[in-house]
Amino acid sequence: GALVYQYPRRTICKSGTSMRMECQAVGFQATSVAWYRQSPQKTFELIALSTVNSAIKYEQNFTQEKFPISHPNLSFSSMTVLNAYLEDRGLYLCGAREGSDYTFGSGTRLLVI
């Protein structure tokens, strides 16, 4: 079956530092990968959508300078949160799409101190 692994599951970083998270699709080839953030008590905001053979498209309020994404092949993507501050805390979810189906990882929970 289709699975998406995210690493790490939980992480704590000091304010102003950066952290990288990874997303691995297993059992299928993802035509696109979407990164979402769920801030405390909120819904899932799309950060960026990365589609094979296309440029990564960032949503309003999110920039490549703050959330650089690497999507080197159909099964792997990584995203870095640069200069993390308190408002960056939350659950970061990776969703890998094949056809019409999205498979989500378990998320990386980021705590900023």
Partner 1 sequence: GEQVEQRPPHLSVREGDSAVITCTYTDPNSYYFFWYKQEPGASLQLLMKVFSSTEINEGQGFTVLLNKKDKRLSLNLTAAHPGDSAAYFCAVSASSSFSKLVFGQGTSLSVVP
**Per CB under 8 A, 64 contacts partner 1:** no
Q: Does 36 bind partner 1 (CB under 8 A)?
A: yes
Residue 43 engages partner 1 in binding (rule: CB under 8 A): yes
For residues 44 to 63, the per-residue mask of contacts with partner 1, x marking binding by CB under 8 A and - elsewhere, is x-x--x-x--x----x----
User: Per-residue DSSP letters for the chain?
Assistant: --EEEEE-SEEEE-TT--EEEEEEEESS--SEEEEEEE-TT--EEEEEEEETTS--EEPTT--TTTS-EEEEETTEEEEEE-S--GGG-EEEEEEEEETTEEEE---EEEEE-
Yes or no: say if 36 and 44 are a contact pair by the CB < 8 Å rule.
Answer: yes
Pick from 28, 32, 71, 96 the residue near partner 1 by CB under 8 A.
32
Nearer to partner 1, 33 or 112 (CB): 33
Q: State in angstroms the smallest separation of the CB of 25 from partner 1.
A: 14
Write each residue from 76 to 95 as x if it is in contact with partner 1 (CB under 8 A), else as -, in one continuous string: ---------------x-x-x
The answer to whether the CB of 14 falls within 8 A of the CB of 8 is: no
Interface residue with partner 1 among 16, 85, 101, 111 (CB under 8 A) is 101
By rule CB under 8 A, what count of residues binds partner 1?
A: 24
